[in-house]
Amino acid sequence: MNRILIVNVNWLGDTLFATPFIRAVRERYSKAYIAILTHPRCYKILEGNPNIDEIIIYDEKKQHKNLLRRFSIISHLRSKKFDAAFILRKSLSRTLLLLFSKIPIRVGYKSKRAGFLLTRKVDTPDKELHKVEYFLNLANAVGIKTKNKNYEILISDNDMKDGKKILESAGIKDKGFIALNAGGNWDLKRWPAENFAKLGDNIFEKLGASIVLTGAEKDIALAENIAALMKHKPFILCGKTELKTLGAIFKKAICVISNDSGPMHLAVAVGTRVVVIFGPTSPVLTGPYGNGRYVVLRKDTGCKIPCYDLKCKDNRCMKAVTVEDTLEALYEIIKHP
């Protein structure tokens, strides 16, 4: 394999899960030209990755929705003359894209809809694996192995400077703060706002650490709600950071306490201490992975996990993790340098 295309997944956390796979392919084919086909939202995760020669943006729902744009991406892929492609998610449309791009070797997991378009069909594992292992299993099937299963993201010196500026402009000292990431891509993955508020006040009173609330612009209202419940007002950075400046800020934090979310995996990737609260999702399948410094909190409430019952009214799996549980995990993890 001299020219390799990797068709990436669509989400931030999953993209971090894919970085050990990308590294494994580079280790096996050190002189190959390796390109990644990815969604625009995942670009920043992969930007600067030393194992990637080219990042190709593909957005079939928006930018490349119409037929003309779809043909333009096919034309671009043909011009690159890839001799092999790995597809990390089962997708008929993306597998067809590889076929029309005349890539002769197409490796992916068997599926009823798209499997016949692959030249190397890999059996889906008998048991459910963590997403990192699920992707690496695809590599193993063609003789690519690796021992390094850590996430990979480049946080540059400029990112660190930009992160420092954001902290300074908000009046936050470089050291001595703990980041609380209260958002999540669906409500049932969110620990109650009142718990984050109580936790923040306890941290300030017992450790003397400032509290920083992080998140996207959509999390501003949530952060303001948490702040309103606190006696000791936190610093709100929601909507003020891009992905890599958030990573830079996490690097400077004493610890990040978060729900299961993309930013949680970002915090693990940059090597900071992380306490993560799990409820309806499974830490075995999508929890933090690799050699990072993290503690997973989850209580068994008798529910089937993972659970995708979006109509659940009591959210008892998240409420079962107490403020005291989280403080204990925090104290334990900050003992170690």
Q: Check if the beta carbon of residue 21 is closer than 8 Å to that of residue 145.
A: no
CATH code matching the domain that covers 157-334, chosen among 3.60.15.10, 1.10.10.10, 3.40.50.2000, 3.30.470.20 = 3.40.50.2000
pLDDT of amino acid 175: 62
State how far Cα 173 lies from the chain centre: 27
Provide the percentage of residues in the chain whose pLDDT is more than 70.
96
pLDDT of amino acid 103: 95
Question: Rounded to whole angstroms, how far apart are CA atoms 76 and 165?
Answer: 39
When the pLDDT of each residue in the chain is averaged and rounded to a whole number, the result is 91
- φ and ψ at 17, to 5 degrees? -60, -30
pLDDT of amino acid 93: 82
Per-residue pLDDT tens over the stretch 86-124: 999 888 888 888 899 999 999 999 988 888 899 999 999
Per-residue pLDDT tens over the stretch 72-84: 788 899 999 999 9
pLDDT of amino acid 87: 95
pLDDT of amino acid 174: 58
> Strand 84-87 and strand 54-57: pairing?
unpaired
Question: Rounded to whole angstroms, how far apart are CA atoms 67 and 148?
Answer: 40
Beta pairing partners, 181: 214, 258
**How is 174-242 classified by DSSP, letter by letter?**
SSSEEEEE---SSGGGSPPHHHHHHHHHHHHHHH--EEEEE--GGGHHHHHHHHHT-SSPPEE-TTS--
Average pLDDT rounded to a whole number, residues 190-211: 95
Asked if CATH classification 3.40.50.620 holds for the domain at 3-140, the reply, yes or no, is: no
State how far Cα 39 lies from the chain centre: 14
Closest C-alpha to 79, from 101, 97, 60, 94: 101
Per-residue pLDDT tens over the stretch 219-256: 999 999 999 999 999 999 999 999 999 999 999 999 99
pLDDT of amino acid 140: 94
pLDDT of amino acid 7: 93
Q: Check if the beta carbon of residue 270 is closer than 8 Å to that of residue 256.
A: no
- φ and ψ at 52, to 5 degrees? -120, 130
Q: Where in the chain is the domain with CATH 3.40.50.2000?
A: 3-140, 157-334
The CA angle 267-269-270, to the nearest 5 degrees, is 70
Per-residue pLDDT tens over the stretch 44-61: 999 999 999 999 998 766
